[in-house]
């Protein structure tokens, strides 16, 4: 996959070792200079992958990406949310869901202007965990800009084991980042088949260049409160809704699915909703890549 240079375009504000064989753009796509990678055929349907909180796009599993590319159907856009592997100009920019959505708008516009995205179709937004919540917010506030929204282990009414379950931003950092314990409790929640250690090892090098954990915890604490207020205050009867594919793990300890499914069944228009639940944990795209890709294509 990484040797197919003609279909892989990469940009980085700091050029880590993983990008040595890539084609680099010289202009940042947003005011933050957000890192991104584009792969797959240029005329493929645009598919924007939004990673979870505090994680780099390098954490998307290779099996998942390789199988997506092998379909020859998608122009895949991966990127880092601001605050991850940031350049100096982004270090002090507090994020909100609206600001993260504007970053996506700028990135897509930039890629179209550079003829990196050639398809005229609207993009599909696919997010995992916190990234799923960004995707949901984006598509609910910009229904005319997206084809559909795919949420993998994301939340609406119940946003699960998030900063709202902690007492303060300091509590977030203390409980999710424990230097003396190499296997943080958060990673034990991700998988039901013993993959926590390998995923932990992959994740640690994505922290290079990240802003201070305390500052990121402050931003996240505030952003999630705003997200919950947005969802609970939304007029589902009269405002536009995107086509939503909502994928959950029955044993997901990070974002338990039950209340979210009930909330969707009560509030979402049935003809705009597909629900899938699997007997797995929070890392579904690692455990069931082929199944997730089949769902994306439906």
Length of the chain: 298
The C-alpha atoms of residue 96 and residue 102 are separated, in whole angstroms, by 10
Three-class secondary structure of residue 190 per DSSP:
coil
Burial of 260: CB neighbours in 10 Å, binned 0-12, 13-18, 19+: buried
Residue % of the chain over a pLDDT of 70: 65
The CATH number of residue 114's host domain is 3.40.50.1820
Strand order in the sheet with 273-278: 8-11, 36-39, 74-79, 45-50, 124-128, 149-152, 244-249, 273-278
Please tell me the predicted confidence (pLDDT) of residue 23.
32
Number of domains in the chain: 1
Residue 20 confidence (pLDDT) above 90: no
153 CB-side CA count, 13 A = 31
Please tell me the predicted confidence (pLDDT) of residue 8.
55
Structural contact between residues 262 and 255, judged by C-beta atoms closer than 8 angstroms: no
Question: Taking residues 74-91, what's their average pLDDT?
Answer: 71
Please tell me the predicted confidence (pLDDT) of residue 175.
56
Average pLDDT, the chain: 76
Task: Quickly state the pLDDT bin for 56 (edges 50, 70, 90).
Answer: confident
pLDDT digits (tens, 9 = 90+) for 154-201: 999 887 765 555 566 556 555 555 444 443 444 445 544 444 444 444
Please tell me the predicted confidence (pLDDT) of residue 11.
46
Please tell me the predicted confidence (pLDDT) of residue 45.
95
Structural contact between residues 170 and 211, judged by C-beta atoms closer than 8 angstroms: no
Please tell me the predicted confidence (pLDDT) of residue 196.
45
The C-alpha atoms of residue 80 and residue 87 are separated, in whole angstroms, by 12
Task: Quickly state the pLDDT bin for 30 (edges 50, 70, 90).
Answer: low
Task: Quickly state the pLDDT bin for 4 (edges 50, 70, 90).
Answer: very low
Please tell me the predicted confidence (pLDDT) of residue 121.
94
pLDDT digits (tens, 9 = 90+) for 244-298: 999 999 988 788 899 999 999 999 999 999 999 998 888 888 889 999 999 998 8
Task: Quickly state the pLDDT bin for 28 (edges 50, 70, 90).
Answer: very low
Nearest to 255 by CA among 157, 176, 158: 158
Residue % of the chain over a pLDDT of 90: 37
Q: What are phi and psi of 286, to 5 degrees?
A: -80, -35
Burial of 208: CB neighbours in 10 Å, binned 0-12, 13-18, 19+: exposed
What is the distance, to the nearest Å, from the Cα of residue 175 to the centroid of all Cα atoms in its chain? 22
Please tell me the predicted confidence (pLDDT) of residue 281.
82
Question: Taking residues 66-93, what's their average pLDDT?
Answer: 75
The larger pLDDT score, comparing residue 134 to residue 284, is at 134
Please tell me the predicted confidence (pLDDT) of residue 148.
96
Q: Strand 74-79 and strand 36-39: pairing?
A: antiparallel
Residue 5 confidence (pLDDT) above 50: no
**What is the reported pTM?**
0.82
Task: Quickly state the pLDDT bin for 52 (edges 50, 70, 90).
Answer: confident
Structural contact between residues 73 and 39, judged by C-beta atoms closer than 8 angstroms: no
List the domain range (segments joined by +) for residue 273.
5-296
Task: Quickly state the pLDDT bin for 221 (edges 50, 70, 90).
Answer: confident
Helix pair 97-113, 130-141: axis angle to 10 deg: 80
What are the angstrom distances between the C-alpha of 202 and each of 92, 142, 162?
26, 33, 22
Q: Strand 36-39 and strand 8-11: pairing?
A: antiparallel
């Amino acid at each position: 996959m990484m040797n197919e240079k003609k279909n892989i375009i990469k940009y980085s504000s700091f050029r880590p070792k993983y990008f040595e064989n890539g084609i680099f753009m010289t202009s940042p796509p947003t005011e933050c200079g957000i890192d991104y990678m584009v792969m797959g055929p240029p005329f493929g349907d645009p598919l924007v992958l939004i990673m979870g909180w505090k994680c780099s796009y390098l954490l998307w599993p290779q099996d998942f990406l390789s199988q997506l590319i092998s379909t020859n159907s998608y122009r895949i856009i991966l990127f880092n949310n601001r605050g991850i592997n940031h350049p100096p100009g982004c270090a002090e920019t507090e994020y909100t869901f609206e600001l993260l959505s504007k970053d996506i708008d700028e990135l897509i516009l930039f890629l179209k202007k550079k003829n990196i995205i050639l398809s005229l179709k609207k993009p599909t937004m696919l997010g995992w965990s916190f990234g799923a919540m960004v995707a949901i917010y984006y598509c609910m506030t910009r229904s005319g800009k997206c084809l559909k929204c795919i949420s993998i282990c994301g939340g609406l009414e119940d946003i699960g084991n998030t900063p709202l379950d902690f007492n303060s931003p300091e509590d977030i950092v203390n409980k999710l980042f424990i230097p003396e314990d190499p296997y943080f409790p958060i990673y034990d929640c991700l998988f039901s088949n013993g993959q926590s250690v390998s995923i932990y090892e992959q994740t640690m090098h994505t922290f290079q260049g990240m802003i201070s954990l305390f500052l990121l915890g402050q931003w996240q604490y505030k952003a999630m409160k705003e997200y919950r207020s947005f969802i609970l205050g939304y007029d589902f009867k009269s405002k536009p809704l995107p086509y939503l594919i909502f994928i959950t793990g029955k044993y997901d300890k990070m974002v338990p699915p039950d209340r979210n499914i009930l909330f969707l069944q009560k509030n979402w228009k049935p003809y705009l909703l597909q629900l899938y639940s699997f007997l797995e944990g929070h890392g579904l795209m690692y455990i069931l890549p082929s199944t997730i890709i089949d769902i994306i294509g439906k």
